[in-house]
Each structure stands twice: as structure tokens, then as C-alpha cells.
Structure 1
Amino acid sequence: MNVYLVIDIGTSSMRGILYKQTGEKLFHVQLSNKPSFLPGRVEQAVADWEDCLNEIMTQMSRFIKNNQATLQAIFLTAQRSSLICLDSDGEPLMPAIMWQDKRSNEITSELAAYNQMIIEKTGAPLNPVYLAPKISWVKRYLPEIAAKTTTYLSIADYIGYQITGEYLTDYTYASRTSLYNIHEEKWDEELLALFNVEKEELCNIIPPAKSGRKTRREFLGKFGIENDVAFVSAGGDQQCSAVGMGVLNEGDVAVSLGTGGYILSPVKKIKADSAVILNTYPIESHYILESILPTCSSAVDWMRSNFFENLETEEFYSSIKKVLHSNLKTEVIHLPHFQGRGTPDWNNEARAAFLQIDFSVTKEQLLLSLLESIAIELKNNITQIESYTKKSIKKVVVAGGLTNNPAMNQLISDVLEIEIHKGMDAESTALGAFLVGMKALDPTINQEELLKNNPSTEREVLYFPNQSKKTYYEEKKEKWNDFYNKINL
């Protein structure tokens, strides 16, 4: 039996999932590796990921041996914008600066005049999330670290180096650096100079899903694997999630609601637009539009810990269901900007707020207004995607922890006035990496057919807009945007 291993590195955990060639899951390992939230920064020990990788490989190799299987390939997907500094021996010099870390805000503020040029070259606005401002910050404030650093790279690149011995990055990670020219598909000399980065300090760039790479024999030998094993960088986690959700063609939209929210839609023709992010996509001849909500389930968790502190997580999510299934309405407006606002206007100074509160307001109404605000922000961002593509979105596929609640999916459908499809495979990112990897190994494979025949995609649930709530949510969205503009403009 031939098997294929997907390694999926998220923000708070690392997964290993073993698949058969048909896409059937055989074995699953998930290990926690949460970052440390410190005053003004978010960091994680680089050894955490290497330890998780070794444990995943140990458990996988045991399963493979016990089931007389043969590992054919490793497919890797990961979070995209966390920075690791390596010395000449390939050893980390400091904890990783995580994607949520905003210590490079000062750098981006100083370079604000170059924002339009950066958008035109990279497809994304200047933002402390990306690697280039983080590298500039290290060089300015940690010169002793910078002097010893020979390679700046992402988590995916580091784990790829551990597995293959090569310093390579693919387009999907490069396009999250503010250094990659998305039109010319190379590191941009003008951007390198702007951020004070040498090209030699970065990984060489390859297309995602590039075939021909091999796993190091020394790496495999640690786990008793003797045969040759292919390696494929399947692309960034959000891109792979969209693939796993079946978002393969123009006009498709994927919404992933986890700690933060991501809205993704493939396109073929590209142009500069500050209201959306333009990234590369591991589907041939496609780019992908991306919109970001920095705060989603993290805001819901904040609500639970501060207003429903006596409830366990499952009880609290039952409360959400009751609130959404009731006919409760509220005049309360919530702005969910606990970590600033992402797209469409990239307002790092925006802050969360509850508005129109009086003594009659209950915590259930506060909860409802928070959930409504997430759906309204989705609506605002999908409107921007429609403006970019000049096409109306007819269907949205959703995934992520917050969408495991059917009542939340109905709310999203009502606010968006769009048909919502909820797939039942909770591992859409890993599934997408599997689909991309299999296509890399065999270009004749039809990803849509493989996805269609996957048992996990047969139980899709559909949600349709409730027309009786149309006027209520149209008025709520108008009030929401009016309050946001008055406070922030």
C-alpha cells in the first residue's frame, strides 16, 4: 500500500495526516505548539517545530511499518509570515518572530510613502505581518543577531530545510514577504534595497508544487525509512485550505474562520488594489485574492472568558446556537477590531467597541452583535472582491472552527445574502496540500475528480439566505459602516 504524508503547520498546532492515493485518511497526529504572547511581541522557540516534526515522523513510521505500507511522498503546508534567523550552520539564533507580532510597526510607518509602489510590485500593502519589516527590525535593533544571520526564512522553509537540506521557498510564501515581485516572479531589487535585505540572505524561489525534490536519506534514516521519498512544498496554509474546500476556479470563494478570518478567491488577471491582497496560488495559471479579518474566534473566546466565564467551551457554543436560533434582535453595534482592522482599509489603529448600549442590554445581545459584526465584515470584504473581479459571488464555501456551528453558517448566509456550502472535512488545509502534492507527482491527475470522490466531501451541508431577515441585516450593515467611518475617519 502506497501512502502520502501531509505535514500541516498551523499557528497553535502541527499535524501529520497519512493518506491513501484515493484521498482516504489513514492516520492522524496533532501536536500543540502554541506561541508565547509577550508585551509587544509574539514569539515561539524554533525547536518546538523540529520536535513536533520528529514526533510526527516517529508515529507515522510506526504506523507505516505495522501496516506494511510504503511512504511515497511528504507534502508540506504551513503558516506563512513568521520569521526565523539561521546562522551559517543552519542553527536558529533567536525565537521565531510570529506573524501576529507587530514590533515592526515603526518600520512600516517610516516607509508609508512607498506603500503604493509596494502594492504594485507585490500585490499586497505594507504591513508588519510580512517578513521584510521583521527583517529590517532585526537588523536595526538586534545587530548582533543580524551579523550572525546568513539566512532569513519562514517556518515552511525551515522545516523544508530539515527534510531536504535545501534552502528553498515557493511563490506562496515569497508573496508574503513584501520583497517578491509577483509579476516577474523573483526577488525585487528595489524592494530589497528599501528594506535593507540582501538577496543572498533569502532562500531561492521555486514554484509551489514543484516536482523532483527528494527527502534527505539522513532524515528518513532516523525513522527507519529506507526507500526514496519525494518532497513537495504544496504552498501556504490558506491557499491549501482553499484548494481543499474545492475553490479551484474563478468565481469560487472560500471563507476560513479560525483565530482570524480569511476570504480567498482565485483569479487569472491581476491588478494593484489596496483593498485586497493578491497572492500566488498553487493552481496552474491562477493567482488568488485574499482578504483578512484579524479577529474572529479569538473575539468569541474573549466574550466567553469575560461574560460567560462559568460556562465550559461546549456549553458556551450551545449558548451561541440558542442566541442565533432565537428571534433575538439588537440595536447594539459591535466593531470586532481587537487587533486593528485588516482589509479593506488596513487600519492598525482601529479598536474594538460596543455601541448603542443602554441598561436594558443583555450579554446575549452583546454576543449576538459580536457574531453579526464578523458576518458584516465578511460582507464588506466580499463586496471588495466583487468590485475587483466585476462579478457577483453566488456561492461561498466555509471552513474553520467558527463554522462548525450550523447557526453561525446560517447567520453568514443571511448577512451575505449568498448560498453557503459547509464541507464536513475539518482538515481542508491538509486535504488541499494532498491534492496539490498529488498533482505535482502526476500532472494528469484531475484534482476536481479526486476531491469529488473523496468520502469526506460527500456530506456537504447547504445554507440559504432567509429573506425575512434581509431588511434587518441591510440596515444593520449600513449602521455598522456608518459608525466605523465616524469613529475611524
Structure 2
Amino acid sequence: MYFIGVDLGTSACKFLLMDEKGAILNITSRSYDVKYPHPGWSQQDPADWWRAVREGVPELLAGFDASRVAGIGCGGQMHGLVALDSDDQVIRPAILWNDGRTAEQVRYLNEEVGTARLLELTGNIAYAGFTAPKLLWMRQEEPELFSRIAHVLLPKDYLNHLLTGAYATDVSDASGTLLFDVARRTWSDEMLALCGLTAAQMPRVHESYEPIGTLRPEVAEELGLPRGVVVAAGAGDNAAAAVGTGAVGAGTMNISLGTSGTVFIPTASFSAGVGDRIHSFCHADGAWHLMGCILSAASCNAWWVNDVLGTDDMAAEQAGIDPASAPADLPYFLPYLMGERTPLNDVNARGAFAGMSMSTSRADLTRSVLEGVAFAVRDSVEIARSLGVDVASSTVCGGGAKSRLWLQMLADILGIELVLPTTEQGPGYGGAMLAAVAAGACGSVGECARELVSERERIAPNAALAGEYERRYQIWHGLYPALRESFARMGA
């Protein structure tokens, strides 16, 4: 049997073909644009995602026996608002996870509704990227469009709807809406009412590994697939990446260095009362997880190398940097190019270099960018440690994980061993694994992870640099508080 994993990302949709033994047979992708109509806004046309599927899946299957495909599973960018009318037409461009237009709605939810009540209802507080503030913004700023909403979907759920006709989501993606009771794994009627919605407008909630239906006949024909292919509920990209790297069950952890950066820590039970410091969400394995999210990770490096330095050769920019050398005289970098989520929850936060001198070189600034992102990742790890979580090692995935320099810096700054999986296609591989469970080829997500995921290499921290990175982290950690009011005035 074959299984297709879909990774619906911010800049591209990636497709992966996996056999029942976990071998990756083929990979392809289709890219699309993000629109920024106003400063801090970020949105996409969902038609671009579907176009990517219609083009990408047939290309993925070229040269393979498509009749062997038994399931499809999607890991998708979280929090995005896809609003459909009663004719299933998209009402407005999807508002994405990194959109910052909802500062006023977030303030209303956290201050007037109150963080204590939000934690009680959903297990989390409001962040600008979450779906509920987007709906409040739409109701206040686009009331005519809001009144037409018949169905609210998340990005990967829109693809699943077009594949199957079902209005469905999974628990991990629903957790990031602020409309979902994470502890009880169901929609919160009170939060829906607060946003002017009813349960009838929301998708049916499934566990990530459950089937939501099979391909519509006309879609199967267009994609070159057999009828009866099972479509799994799928998962938010971070939960899918965790599955794809084997971060399933307590005692595991995964760090993703993608467009955004995440620290993902599975837990056996719901962690109550921590959602004002770190996200507490449902996991794709049927349990829960803690998650810290920084909005700009590998995107910081892409901005620095592509947009500022004007090159596409990232490896060349890092080639002369020795990860074993002490970073004592480096400038500091705040990686808040799109505002920040965990732990700042500040849409006005911005990127900044500090501590430059006449001797600062191009390579120094390149290293500072990588270091600044790693320090931001450490912020979330420190929160987990403060909650008593034993952080001893972590798998790593995402585009940033291709940089050996960055991985070594991250290991040194966190003081833990990093594990590189044999398969580096986190969300897509996790989606294919969820499809295998949904189609009955694996008994559970845990069983699938144990059988299919293996490690390629481990990177140990350099103990000789621990003291220097600790000193620099503490200095770096004081920069945002010193600049917070200035950032707020800039945003105003």
C-alpha cells in the first residue's frame, strides 16, 4: 500500500509518497504567494492551495502504480480562517497564522473576557494568530461578509473538504482556534457564542488518525487515484511534524525550524493552568502536548540572506563560521520580524540588532541572526523546564535543520542533545503516517512511530561554550523589555 502525505505550508504545499514500510518513494511541491495588503496583515487565496493539490498529486504519482494508494493525510498551517458561504464559496482571502491585525480583539479577549475565563473555557489565552480573534475582527470590520458565513474551516480542513465533501477538523488543529475546549476535546459553546457563531457552523471534530471519508469520485478521477482512498482527519503542522519525527508520548520533544519555530512536548494528560505561558493543545496521538511558538525562525535567516544580503547561497554565508568559537563579541539579534507569540504575545514586537561596532562583520551578523532565533526557542524551553518538564533531548525538523552550524548552536544554547531523524519531511511524513493509521495499516499512532521512525544522527552540546551562551542569553533576554515601549510607539 501507498500513502500520500500533504504538508500545506505558508509558502508551498509539499507532497510525499510513502509505502507501508515507511520508505519515501517520491516528493514534490508547488509554491504560492502570501499577500500583505497592509503592514502586519498576512493572507492567501485558498484556491492556490487546491491548485497545488490538483497539480502536485498527479506529478507525485508519475511512474508509480496509483491503484496502490490507500490513504491521504494532511498536516497544515494552523490557525488560519477559511470562511465559506452556503454555496461553499470562499468569502474572503484566508487570514493566516502570522497575521497581526487582531491586536484590539486580543486585548478585548484577554482583558475584558479575561485570561482566567479563557483558560477555563479553552485551556489557553488569546494570541493574535488564533482563529477566534480573526472572527471577531471580521464581525467588527466586515459585518456583511461575516453574516454570510455558513462554515468555518482551517486551511488543511478546506483541502479535506474539497477531497471528500466533509466539513471536518481534528483535535490538534481545533486546539489553536481558541474556540475549542482542549481538556474535553470539543467545541466551547460559550466561546462560539462570544464570536457570534453556532456549533452548526463549525466542522465535526475527529481524532487526527480517524478517517473523515473517502475521495469524491470526480476528485479521484482528476487526481488519478482509485475510488475508496481514505482521507484522514490529519493534524496541524506542528502535531503532524511531531508524529513524523517520532515525538509521540511523554518523554519526547520536537523542535521545528520552519518559517516559524516551535517547541513541541507531548504530555500524557492535559496541562491545566499553563496556557498563559505556553500553549496547551491536543496531540495527534490521542493525548495532549505543550507548545511554544516563535513567529519567525527560518524566515529570519531567509530575510537576512535573501532580502538584505541579496543572495540565495545560505551555505556560503555560513561557511566561514566556526561553531566551536566563542561568540563573545557578537552583536545581538531580536528575531521578532512578524511580532512574537510565545512568550511575549506582542504584535508590536520587531526585529533589532544591538551591540554592533566598527569591527562587526557580515559573518558576525549572520551568526547573530541564527543565535537570536535559538535564544527565542530557548525561551519556550525554559517555560517547560519551569513546569517541571525534563528536557533532555529533542528531535529537530524543518528547513533550518539543514544547517549544521545552526543545529550545533541550538544544541549549545539549549544544553541538550539534538536527534536528527532519518526522514526529514516532518509534517508530510506525519500526514502519511496518520493516513496509514486511518486506512488500517497501523494499529495506532504510537505503533506507527515506533515502526517507521528512526534516527540518523545525534548532535551533542559543546560544554565549553555553555557559560558564554548563558551570559549572552541573559543579556539578550533583557533587550526586549528595554525596547517594548519603543516598539509599541512604533506600532502606534
Residues 1:175 and 1:447: Cα distance change in structure 2 (over 3 Å): closer
Cα distance in 2 between the residues matched to 1:298 and 1:357: 22
Which secondary structure state, in structure 2, belongs to the residue aligned with residue 422 of structure 1? strand
Equivalent position amino acid for 1:163 in 2? L
Contact kept, 8 Å, 2:166 with 2:213, in 1: the verdict is: no
Q: Is the 1:303–1:367 contact (alpha carbons within 8 Å) kept by the matching residues of 2?
A: yes
Partners of 2:466 and 2:52 lie apart in 1 by: 47
> 1:146-194 deviations in whole A, cap 9, x for unaligned?
2322112111221111111111111112111111111222221221222
Report the CA distance shift for 1:184/1:373 in structure 2 as closer, same or farther (over 3 A): same
Task: Give runs of aligned pairs for residues 278-293 of structure 1, distance below 5 A.
Answer: 278-284=280-286, 286-293=287-294
Deviating more after overlay: 326-335 vs 123-132: 326-335
CA shift for structure 1 position 464: 1.1
Q: Which residue of 1 is the match for residue 434 of structure 2?
A: 436
For residue 406 of structure 1, report the CA deviation from its aligned partner.
0.9
The Cα of 1:321 is off from its aligned counterpart by 3.5
Does the 8 Å CA contact 1:324/1:368 hold for their aligned counterparts? no
Alignment correspondent of 2:459: 463
Distance, in Å, in 2 between the alignment partners of 1:345 and 1:442 is: 42
Distance 1:60 1:421 in 2: 29
Q: What residue ranges of structure 1 are gaps of 5+ in the alignment? A: none
Tell me which residue corresponds to 2:376: 377
Report the RMSD for the aligned CA atoms in angstroms.
2.2
The 8 Å contact of residues 248 and 283 in structure 1, kept in 2 or not, is answered as yes
2:91 match = 93
Which position in structure 1 is the counterpart of 2:145? Answer: 145
Identical pairs, percent: 23
Give the SS at the match of 1:89. coil
**One-letter amino acid of the structure 2 residue matched with residue 213 of structure 1:** G
Consecutive unaligned residues in structure 2, runs of 5 or more:
486-492
Match of 1:295 in 2: 296
Contact 2:7 2:76 in 1 (8 A): yes
Deviations 1:254-309 (A, max 9, x none): 1001111011000123112111001111113x201110111112222222246533
Q: Are the equivalent residues in 2 in contact too, given 1:324–1:408 (CA < 8 A)?
A: no
Q: Provide the C-alpha distance between the structure 1 equivalents of 2:281 and 2:295, rounded to a whole number of angstroms.
A: 17
User: In structure 2, how many angstroms separate the alpha carbons of the residues matched to 1:60 and 1:399?
Assistant: 22
1:79 corresponds to 2:41: no
Q: TM-score, normalised by structure 1?
A: 0.92
Whether the aligned pair in 1 keeps the contact of 2:231 and 2:438 (CA below 8 Å) is: no
- Matched to 1:182, the amino acid is V
SS of 1:323's partner is: coil
> Counterparts of 1:140 and 1:39 in 2: how far apart (Å)?
17
Mapping of 1:141-290 within 5 angstroms?
A: 141-211=141-211, 213-269=213-269, 270-273=271-274, 274-284=276-286, 286-290=287-291
Higher relative contact order (CA 8 A, sep 6+): 2
2:321 alignment partner, SS class: helix
Cα distance between partner residues in 1 of 2:43 and 2:401? 28
Structure 2 length-normalised TM: 0.91
- Aligned residue identity for 2:379: N
1:299 alignment partner AA: C
- The one-letter code matched in structure 2 to 1:474 is E
Equivalent residue for 2:490?
A: none
For 1:27, give the aligned amino acid.
N
Give the counterpart letter for 2:349 in structure 1.
A
* Contact 1:173–1:235 (CA under 8 A) maintained in structure 2: yes
Alpha-carbon separation, structure 2, partners of 1:472 and 1:11:
35
SS at match of 1:134: helix
* Distance in 2 of aligned mates of 1:401 and 1:59: 22
**Aligned-partner Cα distance in 2 for 1:61–1:466:** 44
User: Distance in 2 between the 1:191 and 1:88 partners?
Assistant: 22
